[in-house]
Structure 1
Amino acid sequence: MSEPTPVILIDDDVQLLKATAQTIELAGFGVSRFSKASQALAVLDAGFGGVVVSDIRMPDIDGLELFERIRRLDPDLPVILMTGHGDIPMAVAAIRNGVYDFIAKPFATDQLVQSLRRAAEKRRLVLENRALRVAAETAHDDLPLIGQTPAMERLRRTLRQIADTDIDVLVTGETGSGKEVVATLLHRWSRRAKCNFVALNCGSLPETLIESELFGHEAGAFTGAQKKRIGRIEHSSGGTLFLDEIESMPPSVQVRMLRVLEAREVTPLGINAPRPVDLRVIAAAKVDLGDPAERGSFREDLYYRLNVVTVSIPPLRERSDDVPLLFGYFASRAGRRFNREPPALSAAVSRHLATHSWPGNVRELSHFAERFVLGLEGDAKAVTADDNAGGLSLPERVERYEAEIIREALSANDGDARRTIEMLGIPRKTFYDKLQRHGIERVAFEPAKGS
Structure 2
Amino acid sequence: MNALNNVLFIDDEKHIRLANKQTLELADLHVSCHDCAEDALPLLSTEWPGVVICDIRLPEMDGLAFLVRAQKIDPHLPVILITGHGDVSTAVQAMRDGAYDFIEKPYSAERLVKTVQRALEKRALTLENRSLRRELEAHSAPGPRIIGQTPAMEHLRATIGQVADTGADVLILGETGTGKELVARSLHEHSKRRTRNFVAVNCGAVSETMIESELFGHEAGAFTDARALRIGKFEYANGGTLLLDEIESMPLRVQIHLLRVLQERSVERLGSNELISLDLRIV
Q: Alignment partner for residue 151 of structure 2, among 149, 152, 163?
A: 149
Query: Could you tell me how far 1:86 is from its partner in structure 2?
Result: 3.6
Distance in 2 between residues matched to 1:42 and 1:149, nearest whole Å? 29
Tell me the TM-score normalised to structure 2 length. Answer: 0.51
1:12 corresponding residue in structure 2: 12
1:267 corresponding residue in structure 2: none
Please say if 1:131 is aligned against 2:148: no
SS at match of 1:99: coil
Please say if 1:160 is aligned against 2:177: yes
SS at match of 1:51: strand
Distance in 1 between residues matched to 2:154 and 2:50, nearest whole Å? 29
Contact 2:3 2:121 in 1 (8 A): no
SS at match of 1:98: coil
Contact 1:8 1:40 in 2 (8 A): yes
Deviations 1:247-295 (A, max 9, x none): xxxxxxxxxxxxxxxxxxxxxxxxxxxxxxxxxxxxxxxxxxxxxxxxx
Paired letter, 1:143: R
Larger radius of gyration: 1
Tell me the TM-score normalised to structure 1 length. Answer: 0.33
Distance in 1 between residues matched to 2:178 and 2:56, nearest whole Å? 59
Paired letter, 2:149: G
SS at match of 1:160: coil
Query: Could you tell me how far 1:46 is from its partner in structure 2?
Result: 1.9
Query: Could you tell me how far 1:122 is from its partner in structure 2?
Result: 0.5
Paired letter, 1:114: K
Contact 1:145 1:152 in 2 (8 A): no
2:79 corresponding residue in structure 1: 79
Distance in 1 between residues matched to 2:154 and 2:15, nearest whole Å? 50
1:245-394 to structure 2, matched below 5 A, reads none
> Cα gap change, 1:146/1:108 in structure 2, threshold over 3 Å: closer, same or farther?
same
Q: How many residues align?
A: 159
1:55-94 to structure 2, matched below 5 A, reads 55-94=55-94
Distance in 2 between residues matched to 1:158 and 1:147, nearest whole Å? 21
1:40 corresponding residue in structure 2: 40
Deviations 1:386-417 (A, max 9, x none): xxxxxxxxxxxxxxxxxxxxxxxxxxxxxxxx
> Cα gap change, 1:13/1:150 in structure 2, threshold over 3 Å: closer, same or farther?
same
Distance in 1 between residues matched to 2:53 and 2:9, nearest whole Å? 5
Deviations 1:341-395 (A, max 9, x none): xxxxxxxxxxxxxxxxxxxxxxxxxxxxxxxxxxxxxxxxxxxxxxxxxxxxxxx
Paired letter, 2:66: L
Query: Could you tell me how far 1:87 is from its partner in structure 2?
Result: 3.6
Query: Could you tell me how far 1:21 is from its partner in structure 2?
Result: 0.7
SS at match of 2:33: strand
> Cα gap change, 1:120/1:86 in structure 2, threshold over 3 Å: closer, same or farther?
farther
Distance in 2 between residues matched to 1:161 and 1:78, nearest whole Å? 41
Distance in 2 between residues matched to 1:62 and 1:116, nearest whole Å? 20
Query: Unpaired runs of 5+ in structure 2?
Result: 156-173, 180-283
Higher helix share: 1
> Cα gap change, 1:87/1:134 in structure 2, threshold over 3 Å: closer, same or farther?
same
Distance in 1 between residues matched to 2:61 and 2:68, nearest whole Å? 11
CA RMSD of aligned residues (A): 2.8
SS at match of 1:59: coil
